Structure 1
Amino acid sequence: MQIAMDKHYGHIIERIIRRNGYSISELARLTNVNRRSIYNWFNQKSLKPEIIFRIGCALKHDFSEEFPELFTEDEFQKVIVPPKNHSEDTEDNPEGSSSYWKDKYIKILEEYNRLLVNQVKHDPKK
């Protein structure tokens, strides 16, 4: 068994991020830091648990498996798995979901573009 002090936290986190195909830019945006900070984290042998937790929450990854000395599975499950009542609310009220509003917005844009094209076709000045 590997002793916690022998772990290179930054390398472990980088391996998880790259293995799962996460974008460094997206991670930087989600954690509200710049890309350079992310790369600096990768080079640090030891990271504060708060930073690891923040990354785990942003990526919806449970780091309790990689760092059992820092976290319990329950700590990440509260953040990663939405509470049951929240998902039930979204099913009962689709207007509460972001995909509902995104789809609605795209439909409105498409209709607007169609109207613009028709207006240009029927413009008497041309």
Structure 2
Amino acid sequence: MDKIIGQIIEERLKAKNMEVTEFAKLINRERTNVYNIFKRKSINTELLKKIGQILNYDFFIHFLEPETIEKIKISDVVKESKVFVEIPMNESEIVELGITEKIVKVINQKKNE
């Protein structure tokens, strides 16, 4: 993390155009305490979670290792992927599963391509 967590919180607060006084009330802190938060290198996770909810931002992303971020990105791609599995079946099994019409529809679509 290039910036300290306090700086990131301050940037998000400014991006939301929220006054420090209003923010202080929302996190149940004094205004001077908020300015101290802006200088912090670390922060209590419960407070960070609350701040994130108020500012609608996930600050925890800044604590992830680059490899973890890549895994998350790959995970999102996999969620959108289709997996094709070949399952040998005879006609009675297809009828029993009730997928005869769907199979015929797919075959006809393939013929028309």
Higher relative contact order (CA 8 A, sep 6+): 2
